């Protein structure tokens, strides 16, 4: 004898079959599509972030160049920094009618894994040529950096003329080569 299925049971079986059918459809077709859509959005965000990558690379390389200039360009640079400074300043002073008054040995300080050499030079002359000398050292002296400039006027007792002296401080910072830094 056959049992008759009531409408309520048919409705319940239809709902259960519909739920199972929707789960199967989701697993077979929709899950991959949704996963690909999410992956596509992530890739689009990465592309948007990387649009200005060449600009960022240029900025980072400029920062690296500045740091190398402050820390000392290359470890293989064995020429005497003091001698290089003397050569560049002497040539400029002779061409522009300035007087190199004082050129002592540089101060060397070793601290926190870095060696800092501070060179000092005193030059006498007119204001504009002295400024041009400072500009020359900032742009052409690649081994160090101009860190300070001090202008002073002195009055000669015999001639009663005022003379302008400038003291220029240049620094070179290099990493120490010893076992702790390697």
pTM above the 0.75 mark?
no
CA atoms lying within 13 Å on the CB side of residue 142: 6
Question: Residue 23: CB partners within 8 Å, gap ≥ 6?
Answer: none
Instruction: Map out the domains of the chain as residue ranges.
Output: 7-68, 74-175
Domain 74-175 -> CATH class: alpha beta
* Per-residue model confidence as pLDDT tens for the chain (182 residues): 567 888 898 999 999 999 999 999 888 888 888 889 999 999 999 888 888 888 888 888 888 877 766 665 444 444 577 888 888 888 888 888 899 898 888 888 888 888 888 889 999 999 999 999 999 988 887 777 889 999 999 888 888 888 899 999 988 887 777 555 44
Can you tell me whether residue 157 is helix, strand or coil? coil
Residue from 165, 170, 171 nearest 101 by CA? 165
């Amino acid at each position: 004898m056959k049992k008759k299925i009531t409408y309520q049971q048919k409705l319940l079986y239809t709902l259960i079959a519909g739920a199972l059918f929707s789960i199967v459809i989701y697993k077979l077709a929709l899950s991959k599509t949704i996963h690909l859509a999410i992956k596509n959005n992530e890739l689009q965000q990465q592309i948007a972030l990387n649009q200005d990558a060449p600009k960022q690379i240029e900025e980072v390389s400029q920062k690296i160049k500045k740091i190398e200039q402050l820390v000392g360009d290359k470890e293989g640079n064995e020429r005497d920094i003091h001698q290089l400074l003397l050569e560049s300043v002497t040539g400029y002073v002779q061409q522009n009618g300035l007087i190199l008054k004082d050129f002592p040995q540089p101060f060397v300080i070793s601290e926190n894994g870095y060696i800092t050499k501070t060179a000092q030079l005193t030059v006498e002359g007119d204001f504009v040529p002295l400024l041009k000398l400072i500009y020359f050292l900032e742009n052409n002296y690649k081994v160090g950096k101009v860190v300070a400039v001090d202008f002073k006027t002195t009055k000669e007792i015999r001639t009663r003329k005022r003379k302008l002296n400038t003291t220029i401080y240049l620094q070179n910072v290099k990493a120490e080569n010893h076992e702790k830094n390697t």
